[in-house]
Amino acid sequence: MRWANKSGKGMLGGFCTGWIHEENASTSMADELEPLCIPVGLYVKPSAKMTVTVSLPPLKQPGQSISNWDLMEKIKKAVNPIELSSIRVMTSTIELVRFEAELPSRKILAKVIKALDGFTLKVMGFFEPLKVRAAETKSDFPTRHDWDEFFRNSDNMNELEPGERPDTIYLAKMPSNWFKECGSTADSMPSERILQNVFERFGTVRCVDIPICDPYRKKMSAKISGVRTTGYVQFVEYISFVRAMDFLRNKKLVKKMPDGRIFEASIKVDFDKNRHLSDENIHKRYVERERLKELEKQKISEEYRKREKEDENKMNAEKEHVDHRSQKEGKHRRKRNQEERLKKERLNEMIVKEERKLLIAQRKLESRRLLSALFWRIEANLREKNSRLEMSSRDLEENLQAELETKLRQALLREQEQRLRKRIEAKMMLSKLHANKSEDKED
């Protein structure tokens, strides 16, 4: 948790501040400032708070209402030109609305109360004006009678022991960066030394405690931790406690910055009622702190052993993972080698098949070429033979025709010869006949 920031609005223990106001240091404010610790730039000024009560008339119409915000604005206008430092609603009922307002200076408190007390406000929707009553806010700051009565009536208090008597101041709602060492960072813790130096103006301080400065305090019991408190200051003497309480009664804490800016904070001051800085509770916190330290050491040792165990388990897991990965990689490598071998075998088979196919194709191609050449030669031979046959057939035809003509001529010649012979024979026979006839005639 961050306890402070550069704007001056951080709180010890994470509590919000009261109203913090920044303004130029006017003459009236300078007159009201009382130094608390000038080297640190801390002052106090009187608180100027008043209670403003607005009486509400009966609401006659259904749904009729009055805005608290409108009432606050009308109250601010009623005290104009005086500006209220703050105003907030304390109580809101159907009969009245009570506000708590704060003024920048106590000198004008009586004047503003006189102006507002008996004042009437006109509110839209209401025929009757609203009556206003104003008075100074009753202080809740403890008195000497309060702490004397508290410690007198407490059964578990021993006035001879520190912390069990009125000697410790309870502080809350104080800005943390107002109590830091000079030159500290924004994330640094407030300084108990600075807090002690601030309150030593009232007397010797026995011890101080800022709970958030103890890193183990949040883990302690709420009865002894005091984590809901800004700080505790314990004095050695009772008179120092009384001086401090009287000085801080109904006061606001003021911080003067080196650049001249002024910040205010409404702080809560009370006497310690829980024996926070008693020897018994201090010892309890010491014992609890040592116990928490021991637990923290044990936790650190356990975490160290746990980390070692985790590292060992992690190393074993990594080793198993590496072994498993090696086995897996070996298995994958063998499988990959087998796949590559099978792939090579299939590739070789494919190459052999392709070579065989190529050889067959080459042989087929050569066969086709040989057949083509053979067919071409056969065709050439056939063409040659055909040409020869054609020539021989023509010669044969011519020879046959010549022979036929010769035979025909010879047949004709024989036929003519036969005819001639027959004619000759006939003539010879006729001649013989004529000769015979002539011989007969002669006879």
pLDDT on residue 43 = 92
Helix axes 68-78, 109-116, angle to 10 degrees: 120
Same domain, 254 and 189: yes
Q: Which domain holds residue 187?
A: 144-277
Asked whether residue 123 is domain-assigned, the answer is yes
pLDDT in tens, 60-73: 666 667 888 988 89
Of 385, 408, 435, the residue that ends a domain is: 385
Instruction: List all residues 6 or more positions away from 89 whose beta carbon is below 8 Å from its beta carbon.
Output: 68, 72, 97, 98, 99
Note whether 105 and 205 are same-domain residues: no
Q: Are residues 264 and 327 in the same domain?
A: no
Same domain, 129 and 153: no
Q: Does residue 210 lie in a domain region?
A: yes
Long-range contacts from 71-74, C-beta under 8 angstroms, 24+ separation: 71/97, 71/99, 71/121, 71/123, 71/130, 72/99, 74/121, 74/123
Give the pLDDT of residue 60.
66
Are residues 172 and 131 part of one domain?
A: no
Q: CB neighbours (10 Å) of residue 264?
A: 24
Number of domains within the chain: 3
Domain match, 209 and 325 both = no
3-state SS of the chain is: CCCCCCCCCCEHHHCCCCCCCEECCCHHHHHHCEEEEHHHCEEEEECCEEEEEEECCCCCCCCCCCCHHHHHHHHHHHCCCCCCCEEEEEEECCCEEEEEEECCCHHHHHHHHHHHCCCEECCCCCCCCEEEEEEECCCCCCCHHHHHHHHHHCCCCCCCCCCCCCCEEEEECCEHHHHCCCCCCCCCCCCHHHHHHHHCCCCCEEEEECHHHCCCHHHCCHHHHCCCCCEEEEECCHHHHHHHHHHHCCEEEEEECCCCCEEEECCEEEECCCCCCCHHHHHHHHHHHHHHHHHHHHHHHHHHHHHHHHHHHHHHHHHHHHHHHHHHHHHHHHHHHHHHHHHHHHHHHHHHHHHHHHHHHHHHHHHHHHHHHHHHHHHHHHHHHHHHHHHHHHHHHHHHHHHHHHHHHHHHHHHHHHHHHHHHHHHHHHHHHHHHHHHHHHC
- CA nearest to 9, candidates 22, 20, 25, 24: 20
From 108, 136, 164, give the residue that closes a domain: 136
If asked whether residues 71 and 193 sit together in one domain, one would say no
The whole-angstrom separation of Cα 383 and Cα 202 is 149
Query: Is residue 19 a contact partner of residue 103, using CB atoms and an 8 Å limit?
Result: no
| C-alpha of 411 from chain center | 135
Same domain for 155 and 269, yes or no, is yes
Instruction: Report the greatest alpha carbon distance in the chain.
Output: 238
Do residue 169 and residue 254 come from a single domain?
Answer: yes
Q: Are residues 326 and 359 in the same domain?
A: yes
Whether 141 and 250 have beta carbons less than 8 Å apart is answered as yes
- Residue 182 inside a domain? The answer is yes
Residue 391 domain flag: no
Boundary (domain end) residue, out of 341, 369, 385: 385
Structural domain includes residue 440:
no
Q: In this predicted structure, what is the pLDDT of residue 203? A: 92
Per the CB < 8 A criterion, the answer to whether 83 and 104 are in contact is yes
Q: Give pLDDT < 50 ranges for the chain.
A: 1-27
Predicted pLDDT of residue 442: 64
Q: Are residues 162 and 273 in the same domain?
A: yes
Residue 76 lies in a domain: yes
Which residue's structure tokens are 């883990």?
Answer: 219
| Residue 156 falls inside a structural domain | yes
Is residue 301 domain-resident?
no
Domain check: are 89 and 105 in the same one? yes
